[in-house]
Structure 1
Amino acid sequence: MTVKVDPITLDIIENALKNARSEMDGVVVRISLSPVIREQHDEFPMICDAKGRMVVGQFGSYIPAIVEKFEGDLNEGDVFVWNDPYACKGSISHNNDWCVMMPIFHQGVLVGFSSIFGHMVDVGGKVPGSMPFDARTIWEEGLRIPPVRIYDKGVLNKGVLDIMLNNTRTPDMNRADLMALIAGCRTAATRVQELCDRFGRDSYVAACDMLLDRTREAMKVLIDKYISEEPVSFTDYVDDDGLGNGPFKMTLSIYRRGDKAVFDWTGTDPQAEGPINFHIHEGLCKLFFGVYMIMAFDPSVLFNEGFYDLFEIVLPEGSLLNPRFPAALSNRLNTHTRFFDCQAGALGQRAPHLSMAAGYGTSPHFIFTGHDKNNKYFQLMELLFGGVPGRPRGDGLDGHAWWPLFSATPIEYIENYYPVLVESYRPIRDSGGPGLHRGGAGIEKIYRVLEPGKVSIHDDREVVPPWGINGGQFGGTSSKWLIKAGSEEPTRIPSKIDNLAVGAGDRIVFRTAGAGGWGDPFERDAEIVARDVRYDLVSAEQAKNGYGVVVTADERVDRHATETLRAAMRAERGAPAPFNFGFEPPLREAAE
């Protein structure tokens, strides 16, 4: 007998699950110790149905691949943990992400799963932080944990925990963060069981099916409306792999075959020698396309996995997105975020009015390690942000994360717990690409280290700028600098470097990339351009050369000069280009 769930009950269950997912976040950040999870929220929870399909969450389900390994041997009180991308079919994509999962039972019947993965600040390997810029294999990137039980029917497997903590430079942080992830999963299990008690188990299960079906039907409409049978293709580039190779081409073609949307990465470069390979799970790939289509075309649609059977993914074996074992993976975010830029560029060709430009295109990180005056080891890791793309609804965000829930580490936290002073934290002038809607600005952060130690930095978009769309111009690139104590002369350092020796008083200047602009910059309100000049986001020179706006000495608009200049610049330019990549000729030759 099929259980019918009325619309009001369905809405209550939907919002209760959303709240449970948010509560998982809250539990994790209150228990964890590392700044990456506690302050920056680098953790991703989800709640799935009994088939392992994500009903609420962000990153998509990897549950079926894990359940398959245990052949259905799931018990109440079990908690599973893993971090090896190759052992779980790319469900997580580098060793730093520890993932936990627990089956949820109601009166002895399996009704779903809760799961979270979070970034551990260190999992061993040859460098602090476990993300060596020059790794050639995954063996250099720290401890690999296949899916194992960390709790067996509620009993801690201390041997597994001891092995995990014995292979990290930060065992206290890792233990707290792991237990935080487990606590978050248990919180979700409690909330699901309460829903089953309140509405009946059969009604809860039926509601999950209905939520998935509703998303599927909505996605069918989006596919029919925005994806054509004629393929559209787009290519973008990752700067390099840390070993001197690159740029690396990523090519995406999108088309419709009947009711299905096909996303084909044929033409993407072979896997890299260095650690920028992104071993992406096919389901995760579907999820990334789905979330973009929902957010760009119809944000009212509930984000879950109901649409999976409507997508077909082509990931050529041995490519940057489907590397062969034991390819290095630790810095895959350079490729991961370029994935988003490619899908924006491809989908934007059918619906340019709904698409967005390219952003800062990676997940820049800063690691500082050493021993303090008491000879106690410290390891600071911070994720930095950059320019978020210009978009149909307005300007891109300045110095913001790709991931909506991420936040910057408070400067007070850094300075209280580590021998570091943050001297400056500000948006970079002219780094946001001009457009009707300006691209977000990159950020400049200046660290003064107070103890000798080693610094590691990983970033991208130093060579290949973030492109603009619909007439928008490209954004600014990234750069890194070292200023030795007692000097004011900066020395440029690579965007990917490990174990750079620094002394007390040295400064690191970390400048992230901006984002491309959206729409014709000559259509941007001149008063808003002048406001950006006053806010030091745009120089008077870029106001003139990028927007055709003449700003007076007191940073006001000269209207007559602006109208004259814009008319001349429009005539010289002609129709605005659909994309502006900003390639210099040597780069274009290298990329092609």
Structure 2
Amino acid sequence: MSAIDPVTTEIIRCALLQAAEDMNTTLIRSSYTPTIYEAKDCAVALLDHEHNVLGQSSGLPIFLGNLEECTRATERVHGRDVWQPGDVWVLNDSYIGGTHLNDVTVYAPIFSEPAEPDEAAVLIGFAASRAHWIDMGSKDPGGSMDSTSIYQEGLRLGPIKIYEDGEPCDQVHSLIARNVRFPEPTLGDMRAQVACARTGAQRLTEIVGRWGLETVLAARDAVFAQTEQMERQRIAALPDGVYEASGCLDNDGIDLSTPLPVTVRVTVSGDRMAVDLTDCAEQATGPVNCGAAQTVAACRVAYKLLVSGDIPLNGGSFKPLEVVTRPGTMLAAVEPAACQYYYSHLGLIIDLVVKALAAALPDNAAAASYGDSMIVQFTGTDPRSGRPFVSQEATVGGWGAWRTDDGESCLINNVNGSLRDMPVEVLETLFPVRVTHYAIRPDSGGPGRTRGGNGVIREYRFEADQKLSLWWERSTTPAWGLFGGADGAPPLVRLNPGTPRQRTLLKANAVDVRAGDILRCESGGGGGFGPAAERPRAAVVEDVREGLVSDDWARTAYGLV
């Protein structure tokens, strides 16, 4: 392969990254459901012909570097010759992609344009996207908080073609439509992902057409090599050793009295890092399990967050990182484990990796965040239209403080990245609910020299009879502080608060609620960093002035008179 100059390499690298962003824009603008076009519950990647990441857009970090597992799995099942121009594939198997069945990956091979009429097209890469489909035909609309088997969670696909030689596979489309509750928007989102793949194919063929395949591959190799070298340098700067941290999930949603432990062991040896997750709870009865691919992705998020967040992601990023799991555990589940809420322990893992390495990277480490997606789901029939609906949204909360600054308040959890909480106007327009209160939750951030971020209070009034499902986590292991900082407040959810009918809930499935009922959700805060006694008096006074800290909490937690 020919040598390539640095300028051309950088131009091609940026072109590939922009191609991924163009794919993401196509997906979001073409989608049918607010889960994608408003909340942006999606991610895209452009891959080379060997399944390495050429460019990945902003999106959900939890999909970091694992979209290629779907194309690799397809090739393992069907062989290398299965890839043909014009084909588009789909896969949502939890044990391959690692996620729940609602997260559907759509991907397509990309071929170069032949120079001569009698020449065969050459496979040059893949375009892939993953997006949350609002319903997969699970036993409850949108997804079940109490599933105990993958077979209760909906239609399990793939790897299977949804387009062949550029034409839709009508039988597969019909199969999907007949197995979901919302066929029109579901197929609409699927077609948006197909458009996303075609945008990626167009961009990559344009890049190859401009510079030539040999030059593009030379640029790829140079970028991968440079990235790997920089990653190894970052790891080599850490003290060798074994670093450990432990935590637990509240429960699996079925047995509410038994926490699920996780221990993270990070070994730094020279320019390599290994994360061992074999010491964790066995595969759970409830839906907190995930395939190993998603656990690997979580460790990659933690690694980038702490060690090399400023180095762009590509196929060289994780060469020095190894992740070890044990099949049959909740972090490497096998059939028929339920996987609907696969992400709860992934957020915990991210925080635990940071905690384990905090002593080695005190300037980079942050205290724990509120940690989970904190899902609120409404389902029913909208009396305004007579049509069924499902609304599922994540709730923002507080992030942990770090050495130089307070944690962010009211931010989506680190698993979800670019995902957004649902705008009040959209929620109230599309669904029979009203948001009656939405504000910062004072005193929820952990006290410290730098303060943990605050969670939020979000209160809903139901405008029609419907069903409520909840999945809120991290009350047993709330956001811990670092270096003497205090823990953040755990979450609190109450139905009809302050009335004789008050119920305190964190996990619930398809609970009947009536028009006029009130749901009050309070998300947790982030942990503090350093002793609270060392927080400057002026900073505490400013917190009180802004309503982030109450007068009582300023006296109790910070000793301010």
* TM score, norm. by length of structure 1: 0.88
Cα distance per residue 1:109-156 (max 9 Å; x no partner): 1111111111111111111112x2221111111111121011112111
Aligned pair partner of 1:408 in 408, 416, 421: 421
Query: What is the CA-CA distance between 1:295 and the residue it aligns to?
Result: 3.5
Q: Name the counterpart of 1:567.
A: none
The separation in 1 between residues aligned to 2:261 and 2:142, in whole angstroms, is 27
- What percentage of aligned pairs have identical amino acids? 31
Asked if 1:94 is matched to 2:95, the reply is: no
Residue range with higher mean Cα deviation, 313-322 or 39-48: 313-322
Give the match for residue 467 of structure 1: 480
Counterpart for residue 449 of structure 2: 436
* 2: CA distance, partners of 1:387 / 1:165: 39
Please say if residues 36 and 383 of structure 1, whose CA atoms lie closer than 8 Å, have aligned partners that are also in contact. Answer: no
1:359 aligns with 2:369: yes
Cα drift, residue 329 of structure 1: 0.7
In structure 2, the CA distance between the partners of 1:434 and 1:212, relative to structure 1 (3 Å rule), is: same
Task: Read off the aligned partner of 2:450 and give its amino acid letter.
Answer: H
| Alignment partner, residue 85 of structure 1 | 94
The equivalent of 1:180 in structure 2 is 192
Letter in structure 1 aligned against 2:349: F
Matched, 1:369 2:382: no
1:422 maps onto 2:435 in alignment = yes
Distance in 1 between the 2:132 and 2:355 partners? 29
Q: What does residue range 459-498 of structure 1 map to in structure 2 within 5 Å?
A: 459-483=472-496, 488=499, 491-498=502-509
**Aligned letter for 1:65?**
A
Q: Does 1:537 align with 2:548?
A: yes
Residue 30 (structure 1) shift: 1.1
The amino acid across from 1:275 in the alignment is P
1:163-204 CA-to-partner distances (Å, cap 9, x unmatched) read 112111122221121111121121121111111122122111
Q: Does 1:162 align with 2:174?
A: yes
The one-letter code matched in structure 2 to 1:35 is: P
In structure 2, what is the equivalent of residue 454 of structure 1? 467
Counterpart Cα distance in 1 of 2:503 and 2:525: 19
More contact order relative to length (CA 8 Å, sep ≥ 6): 2
The answer to whether residue 72 in structure 2 is matched with residue 64 in structure 1 is: yes
Counterparts of 2:135 and 2:239, CA distance in 1? 42
| Contact 2:302/2:351 (8 A) holds in 1 | no
Write out aligned runs for 1:129-140 (5 A): 129-130=142-143, 132-140=144-152
- Partner residue, 1:105: 111
- What is the alpha-carbon distance in structure 2 between the residues aligned to residue 290 and residue 416 of structure 1? 38
1:337 to 339, 347, 359: 347
- Secondary structure in 2 matching 1:446: strand
**Contact 1:479–1:492 at 8 Å: present in 2 too?**
no
1:39-54 matches, within 5 Å, as 39-54=38-53
Cα shift readout 1:490-543 (whole Å, capped 9, x = no counterpart): 613321101111111111111212111123333333222212112221112222
Q: Is residue 362–residue 460 contact of structure 1 (8 Å, CA) maintained in 2?
A: yes
RMSD over aligned Cα, in angstroms? 1.8
Q: Secondary structure at the match of 2:233?
A: helix
Superposition pairs for residues 139-158 of structure 1, below 5 Å?
A: 139-158=151-170
Separation of aligned partners in 2, 1:7 and 1:393: 36
Cα separation, 2, equivalents of 1:434 and 1:305: 40
Change (3 A) 1:291 1:451: closer
Deviation, structure 1 residue 327: 0.8
C-alpha contact 1:227 1:256 (8 A) present in aligned 2: yes
Which residue does 1:389 correspond to in 2? 400
Alpha-carbon shift at residue 391 of structure 1 (Å) = 2.6
TM-score norm. by structure 2 comes to 0.92
Shift of 1:216: 0.8
Question: Aligned in 2, Cα 1:223/1:289: closer, same or farther, shift over 3 Å?
Answer: farther
Counterpart check, 1:499 vs 2:510: yes
Q: Which amino acid aligns with 1:53?
A: N
For the residues of structure 2 that align with 1:305 and 1:391, how far apart are their CA atoms? 30
Partner of 2:117: none
- Provide the C-alpha distance between the structure 2 equivalents of 1:415 and 1:336, rounded to a whole number of angstroms: 31
In structure 2, the gaps of 5 or more residues are 114-120
Aligned counterpart in structure 2 of residue 523 of structure 1, from 520, 528, 534? 534
**Residues 257, 202 of structure 1: alpha-carbon distance in 2 compared, 3 angstrom cutoff:** same
Cα distance in 2 for partners of 1:83, 1:291 equals: 21
Against the structure 1 CA distance between its residues 547 and 17, is the aligned structure 2 distance closer, same or farther, given a 3 Å change threshold?
Answer: farther
Partner of 1:223: 235
Post-superposition Cα deviations, 1:364-391, rounded to whole Å, max 9, x if no partner, equal: 1111112222422122222212112223
Tell me the distance in 2 between the aligned counterparts of 1:126 and 1:189. 37
- Aligned residues of 1:215 and 1:301 also touching (Cα < 8 A): yes
What secondary structure does 1:533 align onto? helix
Kept in 1, the 8 Å contact 2:298–2:347? The answer is: no
What amino acid does structure 1 have at the position aligned with 2:465? P
User: Given the superposition, is the C-alpha separation of residues 517 and 490 from structure 1 closer, same or farther in structure 2, using an over 3 Å criterion?
Assistant: farther
Counterpart of 1:308 in structure 2 is: 318
Offset of residue 489 of structure 1:
5.1
Q: Read off the aligned partner of 1:50 and give its amino acid letter.
A: H
Residue of structure 2 in register with 1:297 after alignment = 307
- Give the partner amino acid of 1:262: A
In structure 2, how many angstroms separate the alpha carbons of the residues matched to 1:423 and 1:257? 53
Moved more, 75-84 or 242-251: 242-251
Determine the structure 2 residue equivalent to 1:254: 266
How far off is 1:290 after superposition? Answer: 3.9
- Is residue 332 of structure 2 the alignment partner of residue 322 of structure 1? yes
Q: Retained in 1: the 8 A contact 2:231–2:308? A: no
| Cα distance in 2 between the residues matched to 1:375 and 1:416 | 15
State the alpha-carbon separation in 2 of the partners of residues 285 and 336 from structure 1. 7
Secondary structure at the aligned position of 1:501 is classed as: strand
Deviation for aligned residue 1:482 = 1.1
CA–CA distance in 2 between the matches of 1:430 and 1:43? 33
Q: Distance in 2 between matches of 1:158 and 1:363?
A: 35
Partner in structure 2 of residue 28 of structure 1: 27
| Equivalent AA in structure 2 for residue 416 of structure 1 | T
CA–CA separation in structure 2 for the residues paired with 1:11 and 1:343: 32
Amino acid at match of 1:102: A
Give the distance between the partners of 1:126 and 1:293, measured in 2 at CA. Answer: 37
Aligned residues: 540
Q: 1:258, CA displacement in angstroms?
A: 5.0
Q: Structure 2 vs 1, CA of residues 545 and 304 (structure 1 numbering), >3 Å: closer, same or farther?
A: farther
Give the letter aligned to residue 345 of structure 1: K
C-alpha distance in 2 between matches for 1:347 and 1:110: 41
| Separation in 2, partners of 1:15, 1:43 | 21
Matched residue, 2:5: 6
Task: Provide the C-alpha distance between the structure 2 equivalents of 1:290 and 1:498, rounded to a whole number of angstroms.
Answer: 32
